[in-house]
Structure 1
Amino acid sequence: MQNPTHIQGVSIADLADEFGTPIYIYDGEKITHQVKTLQAAFSAVPLKIKYATKALSNISILKLIRKAGAGIDAVSIEEVKIGMMAGYSAQEIMYTPSGVAFEEIKEAVKLGVMINLDSIPLMEEFGQMYGGSVAACIRINPHIMAGGNLKISTGHKESKFGISIEQLAQILETVATYKLQIVGLHIHTGSDILDAEVFLQGGNVLFEAAMQFPDLKFLDFGGGFKVAYKPNDIATDVMEVGKKVGEAFHEFCKQYGRQLELWLEPGKFLVSESGYLLVKANVVKESPSVTFVGVDSGLNHLIRPMMYDAYHSLYNLSNPEGKKSIYNVVGYICETDTIASRRELVEVRAGDLLVIKNSGAYGYSMASNYNSRLRPAEILIWEGKAHLIRRGENFEDLIRNQEILDI
């Protein structure tokens, strides 16, 4: 894994001078490359990519992904609206909520997006309101444990997501009762999935269930492709997945009697490796057992290490050569806020710039104002130029919506 000093010819250090730190930096060429990679891997089937917007929802990023030829999967009505602001038509958006108020479902129907139903009660309420007048998809829980962390495994038996495959008879009864127009079936087993066999296992669940639905237009396999986080890390071989899943899908369509579309919902795969969180070392603090590097960011900007025990490679941009030492890189939040533990880095000095890699997915989108800290700026490198796509917050942004009582 390379430690770049430039992105598309743009100096990362110069970005710190221009915009300050911390800042999020995204490589637009990497994002489009990832879209093209999936398109090539699944070129043998009619493919539609629905980018999981929750991974990174900046409007400029969504515009870039749309230009590359991918639709979006939205999990909230706000993400639906953001997608439309980015230029997506309703037909390019899949809406996959979980446990939302029915008012949000009605708003999504008015906007014209594809609704993904993930509970029997929601199917019933949807049927009572719309009958078969609005096409919909059903999210099935396939009872498959997959993914690198239980918190990001969404297809196991005790997951809140989807309707248990063991309730298929009840699903079919509800469809018949309300004459629902079901045009798609969907599964998503989790994130960080390496093995093509997991996708095939989920596919077999979809294929078997799909034979009970005569009017389908697509099957949605979800996402979950693993990307590389560590040096020499293994990533999903998407070409192998595309070949094996494509062959199985082709055979299913022959049995089904007509060609369907295959949908995918990658999030991390498209944007993770494009993103860098650039931070500055505020202090290097030695103790008898460990040396800490305290930086001007933390779990308020990148929560994944603390929430998921996620590993993020990082490097010293200011001092790329020299003696190496072991450090704990920690944030400035008043909590245990470890970004990297026992990590070997070239000597770090106060004022050095550190680059945290794989920060494109679930970085800014999960950022907060915890400790009343401000969220950083976002920069997109596109066609060899740096573009400010979100300004950093200031103190006025932090208190803007407060109504202060005269006490």
Structure 2
Amino acid sequence: MKVQGLELTEIAQEYGTPLYVYDGEKISTQIQNLKKGFAKAPLKIKYATKALTNVSILKLMRSQGVGVDAVSIEEVKLCMMAGYPANEIMYTPNCVGFSEIQEAVELGAMINLDNLVMLREFGKTYGDKIPVAIRINPHIMAGGNSKISVGHIHSKFGISIHQQEEIMEVVNEFSIQVNGLHVHTGSDILDAAVFLRGAQVLFDMAMNFPNLKFLDFGGGFKVAYKPDDVQTDIFKVGEEVSEAFNAFCEKYGRQLELWLEPGKYLVSEAGYLLVEANVVKETPEITFVGVNSGLNHLIRPMLYDAYHQVENISARPSSALKKYNIVGYICETDTLAADRMLPEVNSGDILAIKNAGAYSFSMASNYNSRVKPAEVLIWNGEAALVRKREVFEDLLRNQVVLDF
């Protein structure tokens, strides 16, 4: 398998496995697709950094004219390290202490609040001196999995649309400058209808705020996980949402900016997790391929029942197809892929697990005291190391060892 003309097996040989590999060209293509899809609106893309926070990836985003959305103060600082001015970083925390919000204000980040308690505290502290955006929970159930649907009535995210009165009371009491409204319903959303439903919530509420600069529609575009998988038609969605947005701006009386916060859409398909087959284990029922990785490096299959396509990139051309369960080396039920037909796998073969760009390294852990893999970025046909592989000493780096 080649990426930008480079053989992944050769990259695995050079940098070792397990290994995350990112295709920068694919990231750029996804960015351009969004820009083309929403060409009729004044679009600003704010990459959801939680998907993949490697500083080199953030710098690539910046070089492509993409802004950032951060959900922690640490992500804010990483974005600043990547060269983003603080005032271009949207900070959207959830259930943090007010001291973290204050730190973000001190750094100069844009603030986006999603609960009334913090909105009130913000108003008490800053009054009309610091602008703020407000995240609304639209009570829309959407997304491919209940664990990644975040806009429904039971979600912890956003201020309920039914609490508009309380929002206005707090805003008016402290003369808070509201410069943006934000809604995000979930991930793996296929069509424009969901975005338009969320948009209507924002349009209705926006009429209460005369000094808005933007409306933020979140992200959640579905990417392909399987060959011929259905995915969001970004051009159709862009056309319909842009039309509705521009019509609203005419009603509002001036042109606002349309913001999107894609994470997975930009980086998921760009990523590969390369692993080596340690053992092929035959049982009366199942043939397991045990690899040198696991849920500590790719938790999505166990956490979300997520599907990741797997290819045996070491396969011989004449290899017959066989059914396998790809499992990890973690002492836990650790299935990465079940019932997969692959060319015959032998110990030492390299498997490529696709869609490993989003929520793979960023959710990785040292479970079972395993170290985290290296990361490699392919850009302009060249592979470059963008994070070193951890070593055993990294596991001890912050421990304070007592004598007994």
1:150 pairs with 2:146: yes
Distance 1:56 1:320, change over 3 A: farther
1:361 pairs with 2:362: no
Q: Which residue of 2 aligns with 1:34?
A: 30
Q: Which residue of 1 aligns with 2:266?
A: 270
Q: Which residue of 2 aligns with 1:18?
A: 14
Among 246, 252, 263, the alignment partner of 1:250 is 246
Counterpart residue identity of residue 179, structure 1: S
1:351 pairs with 2:376: no
1:232 pairs with 2:245: no
Q: Which residue of 2 aligns with 1:394?
A: 391
Q: Which residue of 2 aligns with 1:60?
A: 56
> Secondary structure of 2:11's partner?
helix
Counterpart residue identity of residue 298, structure 2: L
1:1-16 equivalences under 5 Å are 5-16=1-12
Counterpart residue identity of residue 348, structure 1: V
The Cα shift of 1:231 comes to 1.3
Q: Which residue of 1 aligns with 2:165?
A: 169
Q: Which residue of 2 aligns with 1:376?
A: 373
Cα shift readout 1:213-264 (whole Å, capped 9, x = no counterpart): 1110000000000000011100100000100000000100010000000000
Distance 1:170 1:320, change over 3 A: farther
1:173-212 equivalences under 5 Å are 173-212=169-208
Name structure 1 gaps, 5 residues minimum: none
The Cα shift of 1:65 comes to 0.7
1:285 pairs with 2:281: yes
Q: Which residue of 1 aligns with 2:109?
A: 113
Q: Percent identity?
A: 65
C-alpha distance in 2, partners of 1:342/1:155?
Answer: 33
| TM-score relative to the length of structure 2 | 0.99
Q: Which residue of 2 aligns with 1:260?
A: 256
C-alpha distance in 2, partners of 1:87/1:34?
Answer: 22
User: When the two structures are aligned, how many residues end up with a matched partner?
Assistant: 403
Q: Which residue of 2 aligns with 1:342?
A: 339
Counterpart residue identity of residue 4, structure 2: Q
The Cα shift of 1:195 comes to 1.3
Q: Which residue of 1 aligns with 2:322?
A: 325
The Cα shift of 1:320 comes to 5.2
Counterpart residue identity of residue 141, structure 1: N
The Cα shift of 1:393 comes to 0.2
Cα shift readout 1:368-387 (whole Å, capped 9, x = no counterpart): 00000000000000111110
Counterpart residue identity of residue 369, structure 2: S
Deviates more, 1:11-20 or 1:167-176: 11-20
1:130-149 equivalences under 5 Å are 130-149=126-145
The Cα shift of 1:91 comes to 2.4
C-alpha distance in 2, partners of 1:396/1:124?
Answer: 45
| TM-score relative to the length of structure 1 | 0.98
C-alpha distance in 2, partners of 1:180/1:35?
Answer: 34
Cα shift readout 1:47-92 (whole Å, capped 9, x = no counterpart): 1100000000000000001111100000000000000000001222
The Cα shift of 1:105 comes to 0.4
The 4+ residue runs of structure 1 with deviation greater than 6 A are none
Among 282, 292, 301, the alignment partner of 1:305 is 301
Counterpart residue identity of residue 93, structure 1: I
Cα shift readout 1:2-47 (whole Å, capped 9, x = no counterpart): xxx1211222111111111000000000001111110111111111
Name structure 2 gaps, 5 residues minimum: none
Among 69, 84, 87, the alignment partner of 2:65 is 69
> Secondary structure of 2:340's partner?
strand
Counterpart residue identity of residue 270, structure 1: L
> Secondary structure of 2:269's partner?
helix
C-alpha distance in 1, partners of 2:256/2:125?
Answer: 28
Deviates more, 1:145-154 or 1:320-329: 320-329
Counterpart residue identity of residue 133, structure 1: K
Deviates more, 1:7-16 or 1:138-147: 7-16
Distance 1:320 1:155, change over 3 A: farther
C-alpha distance in 2, partners of 1:206/1:311?
Answer: 33
CA RMSD of aligned residues (A): 0.6
Cα shift readout 1:85-143 (whole Å, capped 9, x = no counterpart): 00001222100000101110001001111100110100110001000100000000000
1:91 pairs with 2:99: no
The Cα shift of 1:302 comes to 0.3
> Secondary structure of 1:273's partner?
coil
